[in-house]
Amino acid sequence: MVIISNGDKLSEGAADYLFRHMNNRKKGQLNIQRSDSSPDNFTGGIIYVEVVPDLAYDYEIKNEKGRLSLFGKDKAVLQWLTYMLIGRLSDAQPMEVTDLPPHYIAFQTEAVRFAFDYREPHLQPNVDLINSGILFTNNVDRDWGLWGHNLHRVFANHPPAAALALINGVREDDQYCFSAPETYQAIRNFVIDQYGRGEADAKNFMIAPNDNDLVCSCAACRKAGNTKQNATPSLMVLLNRLAAEFPKHHFYTTAYRTTMTAPTVKMLENTGVFLSTIELPKNGLLDQQNKEVRNFIRLTQQWKDKTAHVYLWDYISNFDDYLTPFPVMRRVQSQLTFFNEQGVKGMFLNGSGYDYTPFDDVKIYVLSALLINPSLSVDKLVERYYQRFYPITGNILSAYILAMEENVTTRNVDIAIYTPFRQALKSYFNPNKTNTLYRALIESLPRLKGDEKVRVEKLIIALSYAQLQTSYEEAALSNGFFVQEGTYLHLSSKNEPAIALLNQYTRFKDISRYKEEHGMLAHYLKEWESWKKKRTPINLISAVKAIELSSGLPLEDSNILIDNRPGFLSDFNQGWLLSGESMQVECERIDLAKKKVELQLNFLINKKHRMLAPERIEIWEANQLLAQYTESNFHLTDQCASLRERIEVDPNKKIVFKIFKSNKLKNSVIACDEICLF
């Protein structure tokens, strides 16, 4: 086999790259040569490589008898084709491919445009620059000089006053004036000092407001067209000015909050926008009559009229729960086709980033392939990946993940990207199937070696978290979770093996969080350790009905109020009933044999999420006010408000609790974990 090119510098480099990798990976008798021209009387196979910058496609393949020609728009395309070709050749020739993901190109004659120009699944394996190079994905650390809401980085210290937004005549520290010369100059200096003018290595820059609803109302911004809710006009002037000065670099903003409205001016060629899909339903088959879908289509078209680079900021992780398996591949595949039809040219699939999530390696492989060609078979990609990298456990792993994907696809389940574990149990997560996989993986460990062993060990740690979550949600005396001592309960030892396995997360630097916000596993495990030392009184209330006081609507999961489980102080999704309205709790069954009982209530305090102690609590018995308590009756800490009082009740009369939310904050929330009589 001989590898040749047309002799220009870029093509020669691409041919050299292909030769070097093929020659280093060959096994057996395969003879690979590199030449600047086709040798005379050559009877082997010829691979011709050429970089064609003005190619109408991203790549073109011509498969002729004795000759395979590869044409790529740039060097990076041909490097990716190198790995694909080595994988394809390894089907027939012995080659070392254990470090390469399986190929999915047949290398028949075809000319192909990628479905998307910008392709980034933001999961931990893609953070690795070598891996993202092989998968041919974008990478925020490699491709961006400025990413996200990080405009503050362009200012050496604190922004000068003139660069800050003017709000009601006052300079606001948490937002910028995009019309100020000082803002432009700071960005200009940052680009030049850090990245030059882009002749050698062009970068992308995100010029976006801070994540709030503040809009500068200075004279210059108002002249540009700003309103109290719309900062797009002044930002577009700035973006186009930067794009004109640095034609090799690329400048983007976000269609988000104050910049949601599309501009009225045309954007320059080297600018673009990222639209968030946060409001779109997260199921595969989108109903185009749905209000959110219609709004998305309208907004996409408005921006597309002003820029050729409309990219999406999509979401592929459960940010409330990184470690419970989360089906997303088929949903993304189906929506990619829809996005492509709307003229979207790029995708940033926002995931857990630098934090580990189960199955993230196969997800990165599948999603990177789908971003190139959404019509590929998810099942085949998953199965081939597991055959390559999991020779012992691949069959059970692919069967598990594909069954989960099939389940949500068949039912077209809308899985929110902030889904508490108890909601996951209702919508997509099957604890029995996961437990079966968990046990099988643990049993397989003695037979595993190398990378497969390391990957399975990490997966077992993640599934240990899911085991504990399942156990916590199903906590009961009947299943052995609690052990009874007199009128008190304490935690049984049944969870010790899962706790011990989860504690092994410290072996891996990329496993430290179980969710996006305040989700350190160290804090999660500390909650379990503290709980093991507690004795919890058995709640004599065994059935309740909770409703919103204002609307009379029932509150879902009201059983949380009487399940004997203390809520986690570090996580409002763990054991707390949340209500944005004052609520009424009617006790439908109380196992009382005495009149004087102890009353205990706990309320989570989390000011960031507007969770405060109630304004007051009323206890009614047979339509008579039995007792009333206000904040002065609570024992308050930074995290919790507790009420503990001795009251006298009639065992034969119905008891109703009315809990009135705090009026100290607008839209305050009640978070209660237990209404306990004992």
For 320-377, the pLDDT digits (tens) are 999 999 999 999 999 999 999 999 999 999 999 999 999 999 999 999 999 999 999 9
Helix (H) or strand (E) holding 171: strand 170-176
Q: What local confidence, expressed as pLDDT, does residue 68 receive? A: 97
Report CA 519 to chain centroid distance, whole Å: 14
Q: What local confidence, expressed as pLDDT, does residue 591 receive? A: 86
- Predicted confidence (pLDDT) per residue in 401-421, tens digit: 999 999 999 999 999 999 999
Q: How far apart are CA 171 and CA 159, in angstroms?
A: 11
Name the nearest CA neighbour of 502 among 462, 469, 529. Answer: 462
Q: What local confidence, expressed as pLDDT, does residue 595 receive? A: 84
Rounded mean pLDDT, 224-241: 98
Q: Say if residue 594's pLDDT is above 80.
A: no
- Predicted confidence (pLDDT) per residue in 603-634, tens digit: 999 999 999 999 999 999 989 999 999 989 99
Q: Which amino acid is at 134?
A: I
pTM for the whole structure:
0.95
Report CA 518 to chain centroid distance, whole Å: 15
At 250, the pLDDT band (50, 70, 90 cuts) reads: very high
What per-residue string of b and e applies to 327-361 under the rule 16 or more CB within 10 Å gives b? bbbbbbbbbbebbeeeebbbbbbbbbbebbbbbbb
**Residues 481 and 494: beta-carbon distance below 8 Å:** yes
- Predicted confidence (pLDDT) per residue in 268-303, tens digit: 999 999 999 999 999 999 999 999 999 999 999 999
**Residues 272 and 250: beta-carbon distance below 8 Å:** yes
Name the nearest CA neighbour of 161 among 184, 133, 180, 189. Answer: 180
Q: What local confidence, expressed as pLDDT, does residue 592 receive? A: 79
At 42, the pLDDT band (50, 70, 90 cuts) reads: confident
For 15, 488, 535, 540, 565, the CA distances from 494, given in Å and listed in that order, are: 60, 18, 16, 25, 16
For residue 480, count other CB atoms closer than 10 A to its CB.
13
Q: What local confidence, expressed as pLDDT, does residue 157 receive? A: 86
Q: What local confidence, expressed as pLDDT, does residue 651 receive? A: 83
Q: What local confidence, expressed as pLDDT, does residue 28 receive? A: 84
Q: How far apart are CA 177 and CA 154, in angstroms?
A: 14
Q: What local confidence, expressed as pLDDT, does residue 264 receive? A: 96
Q: Which residue has the tokens 């490097």?
A: 79
Q: What local confidence, expressed as pLDDT, does residue 17 receive? A: 97
Question: What long-range pairs does 97-104 form, CB within 8 A, spacing at least 24?
Answer: 97/25, 97/388, 98/388, 100/134, 101/134, 101/135, 101/365, 101/385, 101/388, 102/365, 102/381, 102/384, 102/385, 102/387, 102/388, 104/369, 104/373, 104/376, 104/381, 104/384
3-state secondary structure of 479: coil
Q: What local confidence, expressed as pLDDT, does residue 533 receive? A: 87
Q: What local confidence, expressed as pLDDT, does residue 652 receive? A: 85
Q: What local confidence, expressed as pLDDT, does residue 583 receive? A: 98
Rounded mean pLDDT, 481-494: 94
Q: Say if residue 539's pLDDT is above 80.
A: yes
- Predicted confidence (pLDDT) per residue in 145-178, tens digit: 999 999 999 998 899 999 999 999 999 999 999 9
Q: What local confidence, expressed as pLDDT, does residue 39 receive? A: 80
User: Which residues lie across from 51 on neighbouring strands?
Assistant: 72
At 305, the pLDDT band (50, 70, 90 cuts) reads: very high
3-state secondary structure of 635: strand
Q: What local confidence, expressed as pLDDT, does residue 29 receive? A: 84
Q: What local confidence, expressed as pLDDT, does residue 590 receive? A: 86
Q: What local confidence, expressed as pLDDT, does residue 260 receive? A: 96
Q: How far apart are CA 249 and CA 205, in angstroms?
A: 8
Helix (H) or strand (E) holding 491: strand 488-491
- Predicted confidence (pLDDT) per residue in 57-107, tens digit: 999 999 999 999 999 999 999 999 999 999 999 999 999 999 999 999 999
- Predicted confidence (pLDDT) per residue in 419-450, tens digit: 999 999 999 999 999 999 999 999 999 999 99
Cα atoms in the 13 Å half-sphere on the side-chain side of 635: 7
At 672, the pLDDT band (50, 70, 90 cuts) reads: very high
Q: What is the share, in percent, of the chain residues with pLDDT greater than 90?
A: 94
Q: What is the mean pLDDT of the chain?
A: 96
Secondary structure letter of residue 305 according to DSSP: T
Sheet holding 118-122, edge to edge: 118-122, 346-350, 310-315, 271-276, 250-255, 204-206, 144-146
Q: How far apart are CA 269 and CA 621, in angstroms?
A: 71
Name the nearest CA neighbour of 657 among 549, 584, 582. Answer: 584
Q: Say if residue 464's pLDDT is above 80.
A: yes
Residues in the chain: 678
First to last CA, the chain: 83
